[in-house]
Copies of this chain bind each other. A is one copy, B any other.
Amino acid sequence: MSRVTIKEIARRSGVSPGAVSYALNNRPGVSAATRARVLRVAAELEWVPNTAARQLSAARSETFGLVLARSPQTLIEEPYFMGFVGGVESVLAERSYALSLQVVADLGAELATYRKWAAERRVDGVIVVDLRVGDPRIPVLRKLGLPAVLVGDPALAEGMPCVWTDSTAAMNAALDHVASLGHKVIARIAGPPEFGDVWIRDQAFDTAVRRLALTATTRHTDYSAAQGAAATREVLADRPTAIVYDNDLMAVAGLAVVQTLGLRIPDDLTLVAWDDSALCRITHPTLTALSHNIVGYGAEVGRRLFDLLAGAQPQSHLYSTPLLIIRESSARCTP
């Protein structure tokens, strides 16, 4: 194809080549009207930037896939998920890759999606989230030979490449914190029990509860704000003086519930969130949270999948250990 030049676009738009360059690269320095005119002319001439010209002849699909076997509501309300996807996209954008995101009803439909994507060569690789114990997706992905990076603990990944954060260390930090404040009766609002990471946290929680001689209850939920609020209401019957949440969305929902019931935070109840999106800093009081860089985590997963395509050996990578950030929702237990 004969290449359309900046000069020709400039001539037809009636502006300088410099202005065309500014407009095409979306930089300030030209008016909105000029930018629109230049882009229009460029479009009419079917101008293609160099990187895009390369794309057109690519053999690969230049797409990674991510299937989510959760409610579409997760995408809407989970700051964790938005941050993770944004982090993945930040790495994909550098290489002009797309992320094919499919929401399905269950793992069966997820497996069918992988088979379809592999058969039709729709993706170069997949990012697998919400690992299960004895995850049925692992043998399928192996059989399909579909490059995959698993997001979760090597104990769940069965030798597949994975990127993980240390949930056991994080849970210990949370319980050491509440125990050091004198709390003895603790509740935990957990994610779905079938998720491997929740299972790891379950073990870590039980071990720490015994080590610290605490009284504790756990309620499992689907990670949603609605179930987080309902579970908070339920565990209050056990009169805990501290509640530890498996995500920040449920912690914010739980905060609203206890405030509505007239309990004061932190005087009556200490709250600890997991994940630390902006949510935890804009509530009153602000929330103590296990903080990790979720955007960076997503970006790391994207990079590892590119590494895998480039021939890297499958490995597990510890991305981080969530760090406890103490904020206004923490206080000494006052009996």
Using a CB–CB cutoff of 8 Å, the interface residues on chain A facing chain B are: 24-26, 32-33, 35-37, 39-40, 42-44, 46-49, 51-53, 55-56, 58, 61, 63, 65, 69, 72-77, 82-83, 85-87, 89-90, 92-93, 96-109, 111-113, 115-116, 119, 122, 132-137, 139-140, 193-194, 199, 252, 256, 278-279, 282-284, 295
Q: Which residues of B contact A106 (CB under 8 A)?
A: 24-26
> Is B115 a contact partner of A104 (Cβ separation < 8 A)?
no
CB nearest to A41 among chain B residues: B136
* Interface CB pairs A-B, < 8 A, 26: A24-B108, A26-B69, A36-B134, A36-B194, A37-B134, A39-B107, A40-B134, A40-B136, A42-B136, A43-B137, A43-B140, A48-B112, A48-B115, A52-B112, A55-B112, A56-B119, A58-B116, A63-B100, A72-B87, A72-B90, A76-B83, A93-B105, A96-B109, A98-B101, A99-B102, A252-B282
Please report the C-alpha to C-alpha distance between residue A40 and residue B138 in the assembled complex, in whole angstroms.
9
CB nearest to A220 among chain B residues: B32
Counting every copy of the chain, the complex holds 2
Closest chain-B Cβ to A286's Cβ sits at a distance in Å of 11
Please report the C-alpha to C-alpha distance between residue A136 and residue B32 in the assembled complex, in whole angstroms.
12
Closest chain-B Cβ to A34's Cβ sits at a distance in Å of 10
Q: List 16 additional A-B contacts (Cβ < 8 Å) besides A37-B134, A65-B98, A96-B113.
A: A25-B106, A26-B108, A32-B133, A32-B193, A39-B107, A46-B115, A48-B108, A51-B109, A51-B112, A52-B109, A52-B113, A52-B115, A73-B86, A76-B83, A85-B101, A98-B113
> Is A96 a contact partner of B104 (Cβ separation < 8 A)?
yes
Dominant secondary structure of chain A at its interface with chain B:
helix
Q: Which residues of B contact A58 (CB under 8 A)?
A: 116
CB nearest to A252 among chain B residues: B282
Closest chain-B Cβ to A6's Cβ sits at a distance in Å of 11
Closest chain-B Cβ to A219's Cβ sits at a distance in Å of 14
> Is B112 a contact partner of A76 (Cβ separation < 8 A)?
no
Q: Which residues of B contact A75 (CB under 8 A)?
A: 82, 85-86, 89
Closest chain-B Cβ to A310's Cβ sits at a distance in Å of 21
> Is B93 a contact partner of A103 (Cβ separation < 8 A)?
yes
